[in-house]
């Protein structure tokens, strides 16, 4: 057992906060069964209390302690755990109301990262962990990102290297007929989900979220959730890139000339690599001296759906 994992597990049991690597993004981890530890997460992130947390478990047995698992949920867990799939299910009392912001459901996920799994197993606790960034800021994909924004609040940070996926998990819910819908597109593609479900789950667009008032069910879907500190504009397919030293640009494949800062997600047009690079690129753009950022959407398929979702949120909506 890694010494740092042992130290981190002791910190978790003492109600402290830990930086936890996962395959999607880094998490701000605390004991999900402790009301006080969970409140410390909200305080450190400056996160509003109406935005519920994801609980991380090491296996389906631990998930059973936290929620009521229907047959279809069980099947999806077997197919995709450990991995970037979060399921919203009826909550058991073991999980305090602070985790779910008073909702009667809890979001569960089993992360596919050996150090995250080791931490959960060593502490023998389900671990509540939102992304380890200040509220409304860009999610972290390296230990250094976590240290920059939250270092002072943490007992320790487990450095597990850069996150291999780079966008947050796919969050799904079940309606009364146990039909699955996607609340947040993420690291597990809708195509992969469809294959196991035998149908294509509907993705609740931001417009639908607003229209159906789903915000009360998944408050983290606020449009501005991923906004960088610098205004972001989306380049339309027929638009030219802007030029001038006030501009930073985030392109999918090809370099942009005549701007102060240029980031490329994947020179080969590889969508997996693009997802891995997304948040670090946005952070570099934000830290550069530019006054405005222009971004280009990627092909709307596979992981590209999650990437485009994050880019639209960074731009503050549609």
Hey, how many other C-beta atoms are within 10 angstroms of the C-beta on 101?
17
Q: Looking at 3-11, 66-74, 154-162, 163-171, which segment touches ligand TXA (CB under 6 A)?
A: 163-171
Does position 309 bind ligand TXA by CB under 6 A? no
Does position 170 bind Mg ion by CB under 5 A? no
Does position 82 bind ligand TXA by CB under 6 A? no
Q: Looking at 204-212, 216-224, 279-287, 294-302, which segment touches ligand TXA (CB under 6 A)?
A: 216-224
CB of 247 to ligand TXA, least distance (A): 29
Residue 163: C-alpha distances to residues 11, 41, 166, 245, 282 (Å): 23, 21, 5, 32, 15
User: Which tokens is 142 given?
Assistant: 């390296």
Number of shown-chain residues binding ligand TXA (CB under 6 A) = 30
Does position 105 bind Mg ion by CB under 5 A? no
Choosing from 32, 150, 190, 221, the residue that interacts with ligand TXA (CB under 6 A) is: 221
Q: Which residue shows structure tokens 């004991």? A: 31
Does position 131 bind Mg ion by CB under 5 A? yes
Please give the DSSP secondary-structure letter assigned to residue 168. P
Residue closest to 270 by CA, chosen among 227, 229, 233, 301: 301
CB of 45 to Mg ion, least distance (A): 9
Q: Which of ligand TXA, Mg ion, none has residue 309 at its interface (CB below 5 to 8 Å by kind)?
A: none
Hey, how many other C-beta atoms are within 10 angstroms of the C-beta on 224?
11
CB of 47 to Mg ion, least distance (A): 9
CB of 171 to ligand TXA, least distance (A): 5
Query: b/e string for 159-196 if b means 16 or more Cβ within 10 A?
Result: bbebbbbbbbbbbbbbeeeeebbbbbbbbbbbebbeee
Helix (H) or strand (E) holding 205: none
Contact 95, 114 (CB under 8 A): no
Does position 105 bind ligand TXA by CB under 6 A? yes
Does position 142 bind ligand TXA by CB under 6 A? no
Q: Looking at 51-59, 239-247, 264-272, 292-300, which segment touches ligand TXA (CB under 6 A)?
A: 51-59
């Amino acid at each position: 057992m890694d010494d740092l994992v042992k130290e981190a597990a002791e910190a978790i049991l003492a109600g402290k906060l830990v930086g936890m690597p996962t395959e999607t993004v880094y998490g701000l981890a605390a004991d999900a069964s402790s009301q006080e530890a969970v409140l410390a997460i909200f305080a450190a992130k400056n996160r509003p209390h109406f935005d519920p947390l994801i609980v991380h478990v090491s296996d389906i047995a631990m998930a059973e302690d936290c929620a009521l698992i229907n047959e279809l949920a069980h099947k999806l867990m077997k197919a995709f755990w450990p991995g970037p799939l979060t399921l919203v299910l009826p909550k058991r009392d073991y999980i305090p109301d602070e985790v779910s912001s008073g909702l009667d459901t809890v979001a569960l996920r089993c992360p596919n990262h050996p150090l995250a799994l080791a931490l959960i197993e060593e502490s023998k606790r389900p671990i509540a962990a939102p992304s380890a960034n200040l509220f409304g800021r860009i999610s972290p994909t390296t230990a250094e990102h976590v240290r920059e924004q939250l270092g002072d609040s943490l007992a320790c940070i487990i450095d597990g290297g850069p996150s291999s996926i780079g966008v947050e998990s796919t969050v799904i819910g079940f309606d009364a007929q146990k039909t699955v819908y996607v609340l947040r597109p993420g690291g597990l593609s809708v195509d992969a989900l469809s294959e196991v479900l035998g149908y294509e789950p509907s993705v609740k667009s931001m417009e639908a979220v607003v229209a159906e008032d789903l915000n009360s069910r998944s408050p983290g879907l606020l449009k501005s959730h991923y906004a960088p500190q610098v205004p972001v504009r989306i380049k339309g397919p027929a638009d030219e890139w802007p030029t001038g030293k006030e501009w930073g640009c985030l392109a999918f494949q090809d370099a942009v000339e005549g701007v102060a800062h240029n980031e490329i997600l994947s020179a080969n047009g590889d969508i997996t690599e693009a997802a891995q690079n997304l948040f670090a690129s946005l952070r570099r753009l934000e830290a550069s001296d530019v006054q405005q950022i222009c971004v280009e959407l990627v092909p709307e398929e596979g992981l590209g759906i999650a990437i485009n979702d994050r880019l639209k949120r960074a731009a503050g909506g549609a």
